[in-house]
A = this chain, B = another copy of it.
């Protein structure tokens, strides 16, 4: 494919930084100043190809372009300079892989749903809630919809929304734009406003290879016994099972799966985004959920999602599947999943 020379700075660059850049085909181009370095590699490239090696030009500046177009949406990446791992000084940082990584945004054909628009905006507030079980104050972010501060008597349903392994409570706002997705849906009249609560899932306590050993108990105590009561006390929630949902991406989906099955009287609406499935057998002895939503990218395991939802429907559950076309185990899949989930989450 001929590379179009219409490169523009990535929307995830630090203020005023010209690089990295992306073009209309989805190629990414990098530029790093390190005149005395021996080698500079960018971890981002076509899947499994070892990233993109940069080459040094006559001015001592390292440049390079990905070998092909990247998937639409957000990608984490880093530089390897002379054998050490560093971030790209041009890019903003996002917490993933248990470190603050560089981020880049490949323009997507459907990006309007998570763009900052001239519509009423909700707020994202950092709360510090007491956690006796972990003997500290813990952080969560709470999205309150537009007008929350003005309409002093309205009460709202609540979605507890979890990040994936390697990420933290900042992911759904910073990488996912959950707040902008909600603002735009509300402005379009497509969703009744609800509150979203995002906290750290303690997922990074386990090494990625050892997910099977992860015990959900400690996080479940924080979420169900500490955070939910704090939110119900300090925000104008509808504090019923019917109006409380839990969702998570990847390992946050595993947590959602485990906690909703353990605590079916706390949550009534469950969503797994690239994070496993439910089967009718494991649900049959618990209070029936009002909604089960299961999604994945088309480059993941979409058949597994669709088969699971069909089995749930056959068993009489209100189950919905969603497959994000052309995306993998990355945030574009999860942005789209939230966009599909939100309008139906508390609709019946």
Contact = CB atoms under 8 A, between A and B. Distances in A.
Interface stretch (A43-51, A82-90, A184-192, A240-248): A82-90
Contact of A98 (B15, B124, B125): B15
Contact of A121 (B84, B128, B173): B128
Contacts of A236: 149
B37 A84 contact: yes
Contacts of A124: 125-126
Interface residues of A, number: 52
A123 B126 contact: yes
B82 A36 contact: yes
A183 B173 CA distance: 25
A244 B144 CA distance: 25
Contacts of A118: 130, 137
Contacts of A15: 98, 168, 204
Interface string A222-240: 0000000000011110000
A37 B79 CA distance: 14
A14 interface: yes
Given A16-B98, A81-B84, A85-B89, 10 more contacts: A32-B84, A34-B83, A35-B84, A36-B39, A60-B83, A87-B89, A93-B100, A118-B137, A121-B129, A124-B125
Contacts of A16: 98, 204
A12 to B, nearest CB: 12
Interface of A: 14-16, 32-39, 60, 79, 81-87, 89, 92-93, 98-100, 116, 118, 121, 123-130, 136-137, 142, 144, 149-150, 152, 168, 173, 183, 204, 233-236
A233 B36 CA distance: 55
B126 A35 contact: no
A92 to B, nearest CB: 7
A234 B127 CA distance: 18
A234 B128 contact: no
A13 B157 CA distance: 36
A257 to B, nearest CB: 25
Given A14-B99, A123-B126, A127-B121, A89 B86 contact: yes
Contacts of A152: 152
Contacts of A14: 99-100
A125 B128 CA distance: 12
A125 B140 CA distance: 11
A86 to B, nearest CB: 4
